[in-house]
Amino acid sequence: MPQFDMIVIDPERAKGADIEQHTAGAPLREGGGDETYRCGGCKTKLLVNVAHHDAHGAVIKCGKCGKLNIEPHHH
Ligand SMILES: [Zn+2]
C-alpha cells in the first residue's frame, strides 16, 4: 500500500482551484484503491486507500494545520 506526502502550495497558487476542505479527525475520502496521501505539512492522512484518480488534480486544505496540498505527481 503506497503512502505519499502531498506537496504544500501557497494559497496564491490555489487561486481559482476547486479547494476541498478536510476536517481533522477523519480522512476526506477513504476507500476505492490502495494509495494513502498525507498532508505535506503535518502528516495527517487526508486520503486513505483511494484510487490514484481520486487524488489526481485535487487541492485539499488540511483541517489540522490549514495548509493547501496538491498531489505529488508520482506515477
Ligand atoms: Zn496538515
Q: Where are the domains of the chain?
A: 3-70
Contact 4, 36 (CB under 8 A): yes
Whole-model pTM? Answer: 0.92
pLDDT in tens, 26-64: 999 999 999 999 999 999 999 999 999 999 999 999 999
Q: Ligand 1 centre and the CA of 58: distance in Å? A: 15
Q: Ligand 1 centre and the CA of 44: distance in Å? A: 6
Q: Ligand 1 centre and the CA of 11: distance in Å? A: 14
Check pLDDT > 80 for residue 73. Answer: no
The reported pLDDT for the residue numbered 22 is: 98
The reported pLDDT for the residue numbered 25 is: 96
Contact 55, 33 (CB under 8 A): no
Q: Ligand 1 centre and the CA of 40: distance in Å? A: 7
Q: Ligand 1 centre and the CA of 15: distance in Å? A: 19
The reported pLDDT for the residue numbered 74 is: 58
